[in-house]
Amino acid sequence: MLELRVCIGSACHLKGSYNVVQAFQQLIEENALHEKIDFKSAFCMKQCGNPGVRVSVNGEIHHVMADTARDFFTAKVMPLA
Ligand code: FES
């Protein structure tokens, strides 16, 4: 099962983690991926300085902008699920 985490620490919250979480939840729903993706929020991943929201895909850290969260999911998460 693919492990997907979105940081909801204060820095990432300010950069739009709520919108990233919403987008991912919607996409998991739309594509019926509940059985394939273990999706949870996470606390600070200690990389607050970089732009975007910290997202971990099977332990690999990415930075995702709220307005491109859907594209990120399609390109980087769906192929692994
Ligand atoms: S608040 Fe997200 S990495 Fe620190």
Q: Where are the domains of the chain?
A: 2-80
Residue 74 Cα to ligand 1 middle (Å): 23
Instruction: Supply the pLDDT for residue 42.
Output: 97
Ligand 1 center from residue 45 Cα (angstroms): 5
Task: Determine contact, residues 59/49, Cβ cutoff 8 Å.
Answer: no
CATH of domain 2-80: 3.40.30.10
Q: Say what the pLDDT of residue 62 is.
A: 96
Tell me the mean pLDDT in the region 8-32.
97
The amino acid occupying position 34 is H
Assigned token pair, 80: 């692994």
Would the CB of 12 count as within 6 Å of ligand 1? yes
Split at pLDDT 50, 70, 90, the class of 8 is: very high
At residue 11, does pLDDT exceed 90?
yes
Look at residue 49 in the predicted model and tell me its pLDDT: 87
Instruction: Tell me which DSSP letter residue 48 carries.
Output: T
The pLDDT of 17-46, averaged and rounded, is: 97
